[in-house]
Amino acid sequence: MGKGKPFLEIFASALHEDYRFPILEIFAFLYTLGTFVFASFGAFIAPQTVSNESIAYTLTTSLLGLPLFIFIILIFKNVAYGLGSDLEKGIIQSYLSYPLKRWGILTAKLLSALGVALTLFLTIQITALYVLAPDVISPYLGTVLLTYAATLSPSLFIAGIMLLVTLVLRRGGLTIVIGIVLYFALNIISSVAMFVAFATNSPLPLQIMSVIAPNVVLSNYYSINLPFGNELWTPVFSEVLLFLGTSYVIVAFLFFLGYYYFIRRLGL
């Protein structure tokens, strides 16, 4: 048996469990509906003082809302219930009999849990942007992708924590509760950081928050070009890239710990 075949078998099995009918169809419908509904309310006539990059950023963020929350619920479900259920039921043990290294097994599971959900989310969102505002989006695709990278980082950060918790507890139910609590806690902390920053007239709370939520620094960067922009912190583009890169280093480290635990510490 070739090395590719067992990987594809595990990947196909994970897809079947994560997206059994009608889960994929329902989430695709909700993505599409939420995207176009939010787009209709997010439309605006920009003043001439606003740069095209800021317009592209604002249009992109106007589409996120509900679809982003749906994406988060989907990956939380896949990581917690998908992997957690396999650990509880002993399915992972049967995968270990395949001629495939442990890192390959976990990669197949994560490609199904995260990769497919992320591909579906970005495909629908970017397609909607091209349909609704092609003249604005096409020249500034880099701004659009940067916005998605910054916005998705906190969700992937929580997913990395959930992966570790799922592997340690070997249970899905408690893990998804922890993930939802972390998601709302992160939003609350972000609001508190903004309040403290304005109360103390210091950008430090926002800078600390940007380490795990780079959408904070990105919103401050583009607000410079908007009327009544944020004068408390006016980051340059290099700072945006620094905070974004740092956040993904942290995300990568969390997933590295998950791989390390699965390969070295998971007693199966």
Q: Which residue from 93, 120, 95 is spatially nearest to 108, judged by alpha carbons?
A: 95
How much is the pTM?
0.91
Distances (CA, A) of 181 to 111, 176, 256: 24, 9, 23
d(CA 202, CA 205): 7
* Number of C-beta neighbours around residue 155 at 10 A: 23
Query: Would you state the structure tokens that stand for residue 251, as one six-digit string?
Result: 């995300």
The mean of the pLDDT values for the chain is 88
User: What tens digit of pLDDT does each residue of 90-143 get?
Assistant: 889 899 888 899 999 999 999 999 999 999 999 999 998 888 888 878 899 999
Which SS3 state, helix, strand or coil, does residue 157 take? helix
Angle between helices 102-110 and 237-260 in degrees, nearest 10: 130
In which residue are the tokens 């909607």 written? 128
Amino acid at 183: Y
248 pLDDT above the threshold of 90: yes
Distances (CA, A) of 228 to 51, 130, 222: 14, 28, 12
Q: How far is CA 1 from the centre of its chain?
A: 35
**N- to C-terminal Cα separation, the chain:** 23
Amino acid at 266: L
User: What tens digit of pLDDT does each residue of 57-92 get?
Assistant: 988 998 898 899 999 999 999 998 889 888 888 889
> What pLDDT is stored for residue 41 in this prediction?
45
d(CA 33, CA 12): 28
User: What tens digit of pLDDT does each residue of 172-215 get?
Assistant: 788 888 999 999 999 999 999 989 998 999 999 999 999 999 99
**Are 48 and 143 a contacting pair, CB within 8 Å?**
no
* Burial class for 264, CB neighbours closer than 10 Å (0-12, 13-18, 19+): exposed
Where in the chain are the domains?
4-265
Higher pLDDT, 183 or 2: 183
